[in-house]
């Protein structure tokens, strides 16, 4: 008996020691706890994130699904390409459309949200190739009052002034970046540099860099060619602008248009930030994983003095050879999900938590393989595409677009044990005529909508609403329902006052 107790004590001590050595490794397995929804919410009935075949075939998904979030208002327009931005500046929102000749209003839609209960389009930007078709390059810089974009698969790069009138951006410059095939991009935090990621994501791809010291006269800096790892899909940088966090898109050994291994590469871009002659990019570190695919964003946050990345993968295991059945056989995640990565020691990045929904958990993979496709389209995809926090320093909430799983909101006050607190899945568009939507096509019957872009936490002072003080809203865009204003339900706020106090509401 004494020997047995000693063995148990040794085993417990070993487990504790390993947990301390590997940080929060015990927190990275399985799906996150589900949100506890309110009595009036219209909730999903299947796996966390799933819209079930019955919900889709019965027409129930036309109502949409909500948990602790409710729709305040929307501007649907002709639909949207939700992954192309959206981006925000003060009371203005900007989202791209599908560049479809059937549209009455092509280009980027500028939405006036000064009255959050009645958002309206103020103008449409299509006077440059970049704004007519920006893909995932559409970005606003709040500090400098700039809106910029690169032309999808083309060389145009355009900059607009928002500081005078964000409802009617004025063109400052439109230049050509010879050879550029813009795909994604972002400003450096100081707004003086714009990095244009490229669509040709194979080995030997380029990164184009634009000097915006004088936005009326942008200048192309020497482009950088990646001959190996380091090429970004999504583009985010540290506060100093010296590190570029590259989501390197890989796909399970079948590289195709991808680079190779899938995951995070930290690039040193100090030479560009400091405008050194003959600038070079150097790799600081790499962290790859094999259960997902097509890494996209590497979004930086800072929590209690430590630096973290929230990664996103837009493919998941179902994106590899053989699709979802092969992913199940491999034990891979069916759909992409966010990792939380500690990069405080930047040469040794470490995953400390995984924000898996139940639809992302390999244990549930076989429960999804028989979900039927939509008429004229594919089966629902529940991959995460973008995440955004309520603030960059010590955030308490993280909102992520999980494609057909909608907008999911997580409590990240305990970063090592995140939990879901709310979600919103917009109503199914079905056969509505929406030529500006990235999901619409003639003859398609869509039983789910798609959210793939950035959400935005916005504090507003109600003008037509009961009560005083500020209200915390979430602005988002989906393909079929366009721009939408969401608000946490009164029931949820009453039960979670500390969460809103912590978030600064």
For the stretch 437-480, pLDDT in tens is 999 999 999 999 999 999 999 988 765 455 555 788 999 999 99
378-418 pLDDT, tens digit per residue, is 999 999 999 999 999 999 999 999 999 999 999 999 999 99
pLDDT at 178: 96
**Is 433's pLDDT higher than 90?**
yes
- Return the bridge partners of 184, or none: 136
Separation between Cα atoms, residue 451 and residue 486, nearest integer Å: 13
Evaluate the CA torsion angle 316, 317, 323, 324 in order and state its sign.
negative
Q: Reply yes or no on whether the pLDDT at 19 is more than 70.
A: no
Pairwise CA distance, residues 273 & 242, whole Å: 6
pLDDT category of residue 258 using cuts at 50, 70 and 90: low
Residue for token pair 């145009």: 156
pLDDT-based confidence at 200, cuts 50/70/90?
Answer: low
Q: What is the pLDDT of residue 29?
A: 62
Asked, for residue 359, whether it belongs to a domain, the answer is no
Query: Is 445 inside a domain boundary?
Result: yes
pLDDT confidence band for 419 (50 / 70 / 90): very high
Q: Considering the domain boundaries, does residue 479 fall inside one?
A: yes
Q: How many domains is the chain partitioned into structurally?
A: 1
Q: Provide the pLDDT for residue 6.
A: 32
Q: Is residue 455 domain-resident?
A: yes
Range of the domain at 433: 34-83+402-505
**Contacts for 267-274: CB closer than 8 Å, 24+ residues apart:** 267/230, 267/232, 267/243, 268/242, 268/243, 269/195, 269/237, 269/241, 269/242, 269/243, 269/244, 270/242, 272/193, 272/209, 272/221, 273/188, 273/193, 273/240, 273/241, 273/242
Q: Report if residue 42 sits inside a domain.
A: yes
Tell me, what's the pLDDT at 475?
98
Residue 503 or residue 185, greater confidence:
185
Residue 335 lies in a domain: no
Mean pLDDT, residues 245-271 = 82
Average pLDDT over residues 249-263: 70
Question: SS3 letters for 80-110?
Answer: CCCCCCCEEECCEEEECCCCCCCCCCCCEEE
Is the pLDDT at 204 greater than 90, yes or no?
Answer: no
Local confidence band at 505 (pLDDT 50, 70, 90 cut-offs)? very low
Tokens representing 108? 């980027």
Alpha-carbon gap, residue 249 to 285, rounded angstroms: 16
With respect to residue 97, please indicate whether it lies within any of the assigned structural domains: no
8 A C-beta contact, residue 206 and residue 224:
yes
Read off the pLDDT of each residue in 186-209 and give the average, rounded to a whole number: 88
pLDDT tens profile 140-181: 999 999 999 999 999 999 999 999 999 999 999 999 999 999
* Across 65-71, average pLDDT: 98
Residue 127: pLDDT band with limits 50, 70, 90: very high
Question: In the chain, what percentage of residues exceed pLDDT 70?
Answer: 89
Q: What is the mean pLDDT of the chain?
A: 90
**How many whole angstroms separate alpha carbon 206 and alpha carbon 195?**
11
Whether 444 is in a domain gets the answer yes
Peptide bond into 423 cis (omega under 30): no
Lowest mean pLDDT among 370-374, 466-470, 490-494: 466-470
User: Residue with structure tokens 């009645």?
Assistant: 118
Which of 409, 389, 396, 486 is closest to 49 using CA atoms?
A: 409
Residue 500, pLDDT score? 73
pLDDT at 467: 52
Longest CA–CA span in the chain (Å) reads 82
């Amino acid at each position: 008996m004494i020997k047995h107790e000693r063995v148990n004590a040794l085993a417990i001590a070993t487990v504790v020691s390993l947990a301390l050595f590997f940080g929060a490794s015990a927190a990275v397995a399985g799906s996150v706890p589900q949100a506890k929804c309110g009595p009036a919410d219209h909730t999903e009935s299947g796996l966390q994130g799933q819209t079930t075949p019955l919900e889709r075939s019965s027409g129930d998904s036309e109502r949409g699904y909500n948990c602790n979030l409710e729709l305040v208002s929307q501007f649907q327009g002709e639909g949207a390409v939700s992954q192309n931005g959206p981006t925000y500046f003060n009371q203005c929102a900007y989202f791209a459309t599908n560049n479809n000749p059937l549209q009455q209003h092509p280009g980027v839609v500028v939405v006036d949200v000064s009255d959050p209960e009645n958002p309206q389009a103020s103008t449409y930007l299509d006077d440059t190739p970049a704004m007519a078709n920006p893909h995932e390059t559409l970005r606003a810089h709040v500090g400098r009052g700039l809106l910029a974009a690169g032309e999808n698969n083309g060389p145009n790069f355009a900059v607009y002034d928002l500081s005078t009138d964000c409802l009617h951006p004025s063109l400052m410059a439109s230049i050509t970046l010879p050879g550029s095939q813009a795909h994604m991009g972002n400003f450096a935090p100081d707004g003086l540099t714009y990095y244009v990621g490229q669509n040709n994501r194979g080995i030997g791809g380029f990164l184009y860099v634009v000097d915006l010291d004088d936005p009326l006269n942008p200048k192309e800096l020497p482009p950088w060619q990646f001959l190996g790892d380091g090429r970004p899909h999504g583009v985010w940088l540290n506060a100093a602008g010296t590190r570029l966090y590259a989501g390197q898109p890989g796909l399970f050994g079948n590289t195709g248009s991808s680079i190779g291994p899938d995951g995070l590469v930290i690039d040193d871009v100090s030479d560009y930030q400091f405008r050194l002659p003959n600038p070079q990019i150097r790799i600081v570190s790499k962290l790859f994983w094999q259960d997902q695919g097509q890494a996209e964003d590497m979004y930086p946050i800072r929590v209690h003095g430590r630096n973290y990345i929230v990664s996103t993968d837009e493919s998941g295991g179902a994106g590899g050879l053989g699709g979802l059945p092969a992913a199940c056989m491999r034990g891979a995640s069916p759909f992409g999900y966010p990792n939380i990565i500690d990069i405080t020691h930047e040469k040794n990045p470490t995953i400390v938590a995984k924000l898996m929904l139940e639809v992302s958990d390999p244990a549930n993979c076989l429960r999804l393989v028989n979900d039927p496709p939509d008429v004229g389209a594919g089966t629902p995809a529940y991959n995460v595409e973008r995440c955004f926090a309520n603030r960059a320093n010590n955030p308490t909430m993280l909102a992520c677009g999980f494609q057909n799983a909608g907008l999911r909101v997580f409590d990240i006050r305990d970063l090592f044990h995140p939990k879901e607190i709310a979600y919103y899945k917009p109503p199914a568009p079905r056969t509505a005529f929406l030529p500006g939507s990235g999901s619409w096509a003639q003859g398609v019957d869509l039983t789910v909508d798609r959210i793939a872009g950035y959400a935005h936490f916005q504090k507003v002072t109600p003008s037509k609403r009961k009560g005083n003080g500020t209200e915390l809203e979430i602005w988002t865009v989906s393909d079929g329902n366009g721009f939408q204003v969401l608000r946490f339900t009164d029931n949820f706020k009453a039960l979670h006052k500390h969460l809103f106090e912590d978030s600064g509401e």
